[in-house]
Amino acid sequence: MTPSTRIIVNTIAQYCRSVITMALAFVTTRVVFRGLGVVDFGIFSVVAGFVTMLGFITNALVISTQRYISYFYGSGQKEETRKIFINSLFVHIVIVFLITVVFLLLRDVFVEHWLNIPSERTDAAYYVYMISVLMLAVTVLEAPFKALFIARENIVFISVVEVLDAIVKLLLIIFSFEVLGIDKLVMYSNVMVTVITVNLLVFSLYALINYEECTLRFKRDDINRKYIYGLTNFAGWTTIDTASAVLRSQGIAVILNNFLGAVINASFGIAMQIKTASSFVFTSILNAMTPQIMKAEGSGDRHQMVRLATLESKFSTAIMILTVYPIVFELPSLLTLWLGTEPVHASMFCTFLIIAFLADGVSLGLHVANQALGNIGRYTLIMNVPKILSLILVWLALFCGYGVESVMWIYLIVEIAISLVRIPFTAKRASFPIRDYLRDAVYPLIILFVGITIYCELIVSFLDFKYRFVFTYITAVLVGSAIMWILLLDRKEKEYIKKTLHIGRSDNIN
């Protein structure tokens, strides 16, 4: 299978997974929201969110492990991939031990003193906290196996497992809520940790059977300081990168909780779930192309690496604008239909989070390019310090009496600024003209965004009928697709799209 064909197959697999899991996530959230109620849903969002926010450690190590394995695959050093995996697994085991100890020590301080939890639900909050610690530990242990799948570009298997995960999770939640008589918040926590544990077993067993570099047998010489330092150094900077986004989101949730209580956390939690579900569409191309970007840099083909990074930004964000952004204009109707009632401020939270995600996506391919280049310390600090500092502005805004909207304006402005700074920074590191990236990625995405915005605003301003959101969404996707095809894609990109849809014969997009 050629690299371009593999990208197409993996993109289709990820996109199908994204659509299915996003739909199932919306149904699951509806069931959970109605089953738990506003208070318990808010408790789970803020308690579990605080613990699992350290999932950024997992993401960082996945990225680090996958980067090195893909890089060494590209350079032809297969023995190095085995050593990278073994040392990565060792590092993950140590991290599981450390974070478990730390969170057990923080339990009483967090639940009793940091959160505003109704007294009658304190015991349930403690239980959710402990289950969340277990979930985090299992997720961390899963990371090296998942990184191996991504580096091997076996995205199809990951997609199948994640679809089955979403289906089983929904069925178990419905069964536990309808049949079992125990505390629903406790039962929901049990379902979540059970499904995550099964995922670990599936990924690890498949990798052990099918990949020669995957082994649980440690030799003394296999654990090497050089590999551990390389992984942890890269992962350390990547941790700062991923942590900044998670800490900002969870920090906002905690600040909102302290100023406005658990009810507002339900609305913010709903918005974050919609954003997370929507991001699956973005990652359908991101996960498919990232290994190829790493391998291109590993093989010394800098031009191809930059080209793929540009295409990653353009196509991933364009798909998000086409398939997710039109939802913003019909959020009140959709939330009411979905949840039975629209939680206060939920539409506003969703709108800002989605637009901020699109702004970041305009240059997100260059984020992967920086990871491929290595030595990401300076890049990480420049990109992420503003995210952490923005929490100070959020606290000050609420302390000074500004509305909740001010919080999200701060969030959006910071995200736009970071995305724009990423372009000249990467252009200098990778030695490519800024104007080329603006021409090939930024300007086309702006045109598509503005076109869909104008069209949807006209629809919601002049038309009003039942289930209008169906008409708005379908026609916006069609109009956006026409704009993209006629104005934004060059000949080679059109050939690539045709092949993806099995109506063309192009072999690559270079």
Q: What is the pLDDT of residue 423?
A: 94
The helix (run of H) or strand (run of E) holding residue 101 is helix 78-108
Contacts of 312 (CB under 8 A, 6+ apart): 285, 286, 289, 290, 293, 364, 365, 368
* Amino acid letter, 280: F
Residues 233/236/241/242 CA torsion (nearest 10 deg) = 130
CB 45 within 8 A of CB 266: yes
Contact 251, 272 (CB under 8 A): no
pLDDT in tens, the chain (510 residues): 555 566 667 767 777 777 787 778 778 777 777 777 777 777 777 666 665 556 666 667 677 777 777 777 666 666 777 777 888 888 888 888 888 888 888 777 776 766 667 677 777 777 877 888 888 888 888 888 888 887 777 878 888 888 888 888 888 888 877 766 567 777 877 888 888 899 889 998 998 888 877 777 777 677 777 778 877 787 778 777 777 877 888 888 888 888 877 678 778 888 887 887 777 666 666 767 787 888 788 777 888 889 888 988 888 888 889 888 998 998 888 888 877 777 778 888 999 999 999 999 899 889 888 888 877 888 989 998 998 899 999 999 988 888 888 989 999 999 999 999 999 999 998 888 999 999 988 999 999 999 999 999 999 899 888 888 899 999 999 999 898 888 777 777 677 667 655 544 444 445
Give the per-residue pLDDT at 459: 92
Q: How far, in Å, CA of 467 to CA of 461, rounded?
A: 15
| pLDDT at site 165 | 85
pLDDT the model gives residue 201: 92
What the block records as the tokens of 326 is: 């039109």
**Tokens at residue 308, please?**
């793929």
Residue type, 78: K
CA distance 338 to 336: 5
Q: How would you label 289-305 residue by residue, b for 16+ Cβ within 10 Å and e otherwise?
A: bbbbbbbbbbeeebebb
Q: How far is residue 20 CA from its own chain's centroid?
A: 16
Extract the runs of DSSP E, i.e. beta strands, from 81-205.
Answer: none
Taking each helix axis as running N to C, give the angle between helix 262-298 and helix 302-323, from 0 to 180 degrees, rounded to the nearest 10: 150
Q: What is the pLDDT of residue 359?
A: 93
Q: What is the pLDDT of residue 337?
A: 81
3-class secondary-structure state, position 490: coil
Q: H helices then E strands: how many in the chain?
A: 18, 0
3-class secondary structure, 400 = coil
Cα 238 versus chain centre, distance: 14
